[in-house]
Amino acid sequence: MRTWRFSPVSHPAEELDEIARYELNYDPSTTGGKGWHHDRLRHPLAVEDPGDPEPGGPWEIACALVHDYEFADRRIMSAMFHAKAPLVGRDMLLEGRFLVLRFPMGVRVDAEIDETRERADGTSERVWGWSYRTLEHHLERGRLVYEVVKNLTTGKVEFVITGVSSRASIPNPVIALGFGVFGRFTQRRFYRAVSERLEERVRLVLEGGDRPVPDPIGPDDVVRAPSR
């Protein structure tokens, strides 16, 4: 897979088949070493009544949007994947954008989170989400976790992003230089943008709008998210 291009991915099904053969591009046991970034962002989405998540409420809406990658900002990142694939093990072809360049990158969903947690302050949280790890030829190395969290005592619903990342080996010296200068800035911009977009989309659905779903781009069940 080419690490950069000027045009959008033209054959996503073929490239998804290719990344299905890829392995992780890092050793997960090394992420505590020098050069690794550890990030955590909590962004408020809405407030429900205390107790279990409300049917059709902000927590459930946000979970559905996060499942489908419908929180991303196409100006920075979009994803192509097989809609019928199980969540855990799902290969995703991410397409990052920076100015006129596009960067196709493969990731694989490695875990689904579905649990109730006890907090240090004595309250409980209902949590759902998933995580992915980076594959060969990705510009970065690491793992990203997306979680929708409801505090069962306060009713506060949040989007939580937790990441561990490091720059991967980039053969092209120009791309390597650009990533060294702008990569960390773009990463932080992505975290803020997706959190704000998820909040906006949850609000629009609560106001009566249709819940967005990924665009079918074929063949078969290949889709692109977020939808237009």
Residue 44 lies in a domain: yes
Q: Express each pLDDT in 60-90 by its tens digit.
A: 999 999 999 999 988 889 999 999 999 999 9
**What pTM value is reported for the model?**
0.91
Number of domains in the chain: 1
Q: Express each pLDDT in 105-137 by its tens digit.
A: 999 999 999 999 999 998 999 999 999 999 998
**Distance between CA atoms of 156 and 49, rounded to whole angstroms?**
8
**Distance between CA atoms of 168 and 107, rounded to whole angstroms?**
13
Type of residue numbered 156 = K
Residue 3 lies in a domain: no
Residue 196 lies in a domain: yes
CATH number, residue 61: 3.30.530.20
**Distance between CA atoms of 25 and 49, rounded to whole angstroms?**
43
Residue 138 lies in a domain: yes
Range of the domain at 112: 12-207
**Distance between CA atoms of 53 and 56, rounded to whole angstroms?**
9
Residue 34 lies in a domain: yes
Residue 5 lies in a domain: no
Which residues in the chain show pLDDT less than 70? 1-8, 99-100, 170-183, 185
pLDDT at 181: 46
Residue 221 lies in a domain: no
Q: What is the 3-state secondary structure (H, E, C) of the chain?
A: CCCCECCCCCCHHHHHHHHCCCCECCCHHHCCCCCCEEEEEEEEEEECCCCCCCCCCHHHHHHHHHHCCCCCCCCCEEEEEECCCCCCCCEEEEEEEECCEEEEEEEEEEEEEEEEEECCCCCEEEEEEEEEEEECCCCEEEEEEEEEEEECCCCEEEEEEEEEEEECCCCCHHHHHHHHHHHHHHHHHHHHHHHHHHHHHHHHHHCCCCCCCCEECCCCCEEEECCC
pLDDT at 35: 85
**Inter-CA distances, 140 with 90, 107, 134, 164, 228, Å:** 19, 10, 7, 10, 27
Q: Could you tell me the two tokens for 221?
A: 């069940």
Residue 217 lies in a domain: no
